Amino acid sequence: MESSTYPNDKLIAMSRNFVNVVCHHETGHDREVVIGREKKLMCSKYWGIACDVHSRLYQEAGNTYEGITGVPCTVFADPTGKELFREAGGLGASELIDQMEKALKQVPGEKIPYEIWAAAKKQVADGEAAFAKEDFKKAVEAWTKVAKMKLKGVKALGEEALKKAEEKGNELLQEGESKIESEKEEAKKILKKVADQFKPLECAKKAAELLKGLGKGK
């Protein structure tokens, strides 16, 4: 399967919906590769790991899932590790995809494709980086895009991040309000920052309303 089934493009795409664990008791597949400036031994059959990894996982799988027979044997489990079912013997790419779809149907809850999750996590991280530099406009824009996504689990990432932006915007809003009587021009400057950089959050709307009363900074 490692030479015929696993390299299939459609299977690779489907596999991104799973945590894929290779359990293989044989060793001796290692070859020396250069990663950066370092030379490391990596398995030639299963890219990204060394032989001692899949050998150790074979032992752990045997301890976790009893009575495994057939070589190969594919065990499908839910997110907690509880076995759903298993398939003994080799599987072609289309057969394995069918079994993956069967497994997904047995797991309750929303299914989030890896590509969407990875893209959302990157947007959130980009927003965090911008927020740390006080580029609040860029941060809010990034997080708003995530919050507008359809999948609930992904949407929640953006909404949680926007709470942080709202808190910061309200903090600046209060600072601006506190200066209206004593430092009117400074207050206008702070309120304009909130109104401009925190759109479309509530703090930005409140700042814009306050600016109207102050002549919009004129």
Going from N- to C-terminal start, the domains of the chain cover: 9-105, 114-213
pLDDT of residue 179: 93
- Distant-in-sequence, close-in-space partners of 70: CB < 8 Å, separation ≥ 6: 88, 89
Is the confidence at residue 216, as pLDDT, over 60? no
Is the confidence at residue 212, as pLDDT, over 60? yes
Residues in a beta bridge with 74: 87
CB 112 within 8 A of CB 153: yes
The pTM (predicted TM-score) of the whole model is: 0.70
Task: Compute the distance between CA of residue 187 and CA of residue 172 in angstroms, rounded to an integer.
Answer: 10
Is the confidence at residue 116, as pLDDT, over 80? yes
Residues 195, 197, 202, CA angle at the centre, nearest 5°? 50
H or E stretch covering 85? strand 83-88
Which of the pair, 144 or 71, is modelled with greater confidence? 144
Kindly report whether the peptide bond that precedes residue 200 is cis, defined as omega within 30 degrees of 0. yes
Task: Compute the distance between CA of residue 77 and CA of residue 63 in angstroms, rounded to an integer.
Answer: 15
